[in-house]
């Protein structure tokens, strides 16, 4: 039986291991911390179809189908039916792009329709839309379901090094052992570039840090709230995103801005995280009167971006080692898992994910 190692039990590693198991492979998932404790941490992520790169929008649309399958297999809805709202001057372009995709219903929203769907927001009359099959990913439920199904395959150990061997296999060295596999897939989030470097792969990943705050919804209703992206600058920020908790009682808000790229020793200036925190809370006071503006929870986390864009993603491969890097990968995880499983089993990365394809580039065809 083919034996594959996956390093990292975040959403991408778990999705890859899941897909490998569906193909009948024997899988070991190495995780040094708690599954879902890295970049995948915290409750809720946005599922949206709109991306600057139409190829990525199609890939994400395929991923939406796989999220439906996961929801059926695990017996619970993993994406809420609340929809994904976007406001700002980019809306007409997004609507045009999504119009070309099958099974991605959208609607423009006027001032009243926006208020009705998203009563937390202050008065706004600029361009707005809803992606009706977008919504909130129930991240904790997804991580729990996958971890439960793959529990027997998880090895709780820190991977120190990975390399291809002269015999065409791959070796994984951990704190407590050394083992050989037919292929290794690196899904280690902020640890991927470092491990890949040892395996002869040079990933152009940039690390920065990010903050997201949770706020109490003043008057929680029964209908699931939509996710929110504000590119309008109408409330003093032009890159803001938000998503509700599964019980509708909390709403998390983050700025797309991150700290300056980290140097080799990590964050240069921790005060930058504080500045992002204050800007986020100030935005909530201006834009979202439906929220109590006192932060009730924080998610701090590393962001890993590739040079061709904030939504960019790529997979690098050499010998028996494949590594994945990019940002905003939660929504894509089921489709990435499929693609990485294919790479591990065939030794060939699907063309769309090769770095030269620059998937997610804003200037792509």
Ligand X SMILES: Cc1cc2nc3c(=O)[nH]c(=O)nc-3n(C[C@H](O)[C@H](O)[C@H](O)COP(=O)(O)OP(=O)(O)OC[C@H]3O[C@@H](n4cnc5c(N)ncnc54)[C@H](O)[C@@H]3O)c2cc1C
Contact residues toward ligand X (CB under 6 A) are 7-13, 30-33, 37-40, 45-46, 158-159, 187-189, 191, 195, 210, 212, 241, 254, 299, 301, 327-331
Nearer to ligand X, 10 or 83 (CB): 10
Nearer to ligand X, 121 or 205 (CB): 205
Angle at the Cα of 192 (from 38 to 267), degrees rounded to 5?
Answer: 65
3-state secondary structure of 328: coil
Shortest separation between residue 110's beta carbon and ligand X, angstroms? 26
Shortest separation between residue 318's beta carbon and ligand X, angstroms? 18
Q: What is the C-alpha to C-alpha distance for residues 245 and 27, in angstroms, rounded to an integer?
A: 32
Shortest separation between residue 226's beta carbon and ligand X, angstroms? 13
Nearer to ligand X, 127 or 134 (CB): 134
Question: Which residue has the closest beta carbon to ligand X?
Answer: 10
Nearer to ligand X, 99 or 194 (CB): 194
Shortest separation between residue 136's beta carbon and ligand X, angstroms? 9
11-22 and 333-346 helices, crossing angle to 10°: 50
Nearer to ligand X, 184 or 329 (CB): 329
Nearer to ligand X, 116 or 278 (CB): 278
Shortest separation between residue 16's beta carbon and ligand X, angstroms? 9
Q: What is the C-alpha to C-alpha distance for residues 248 and 24, in angstroms, rounded to an integer?
A: 39
Is there a contact between 122 and 287 (Cβ–Cβ < 8 Å)? yes
Question: Cα separations (Å) of 85 from 50, 113, 184, 242, 268?
Answer: 11, 11, 38, 10, 35
Nearest to 228 by CA among 298, 331, 134: 134
Is there a contact between 209 and 221 (Cβ–Cβ < 8 Å)? no
Shortest separation between residue 9's beta carbon and ligand X, angstroms? 5
Q: What is the C-alpha to C-alpha distance for residues 351 and 315, in angstroms, rounded to an integer?
A: 10
């Amino acid at each position: 039986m083919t034996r594959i190692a996956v390093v990292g039990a975040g959403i991408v590693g778990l999705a890859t291991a899941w897909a490998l198991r569906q193909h009948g492979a024997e899988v070991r998932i190495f995780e040094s911390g708690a599954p879902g404790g890295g970049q995948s941490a915290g409750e809720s992520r946005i599922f949206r179809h709109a991306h600057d790169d139409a190829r990525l929008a199609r890939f994400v649309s395929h991923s939406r189908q796989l999220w439906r399958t996961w929801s059926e297999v695990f017996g619970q809805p993993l994406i809420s039916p609340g929809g994904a709202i976007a406001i700002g001057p980019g809306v007409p372009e997004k609507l045009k792009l999504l119009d070309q995709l099958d099974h991605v219903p959208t609607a423009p929203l006027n001032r009243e329709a926006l208020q009705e769907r998203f009563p937390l927001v202050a008065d706004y009359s600029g361009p707005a839309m809803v992606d009706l099959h977008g919504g909130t990913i129930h991240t904790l439920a997804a991580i729990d379901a996958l971890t439960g199904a793959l529990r027997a395959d998880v090895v709780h150990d820190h991977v120190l090094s990975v390399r291809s061997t002269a015999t065409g296999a791959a070796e994984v060295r951990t704190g407590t052992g050394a083992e050989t596999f037919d292929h290794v897939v690196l899904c280690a989030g902020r640890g991927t570039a470092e491990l890949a470097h040892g395996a002869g792969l040079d990933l152009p990943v940039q690390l920065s840090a990010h903050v997201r705050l949770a706020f109490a919804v003043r008057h929680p209703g029964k209908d699931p709230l939509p996710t929110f992206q504000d590119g309008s600058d109408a409330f003093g920020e032009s890159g803001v995103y938000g998503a509700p908790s599964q019980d509708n009682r909390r709403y998390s808000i983050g700025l797309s801005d991150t700290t300056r790229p980290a140097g080799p020793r990590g964050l240069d200036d921790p005060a930058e995280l504080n500045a992002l925190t204050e800007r986020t809370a100030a935005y909530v006071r201006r834009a979202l009167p439906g929220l109590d503006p006192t932060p009730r929870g924080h998610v701090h986390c590393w962001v890993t971006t590739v040079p061709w864009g904030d939504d960019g993603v790529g997979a690098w491969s050499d010998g028996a080692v494949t590594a994945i890097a990019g940002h905003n990968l939660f929504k894509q995880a089921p489709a990435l898992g499929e693609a990485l499983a294919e790479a591990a089993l065939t030794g060939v990365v699907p063309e769309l994910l090769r770095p030269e394809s620059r998937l997610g580039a804003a200037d792509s065809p």
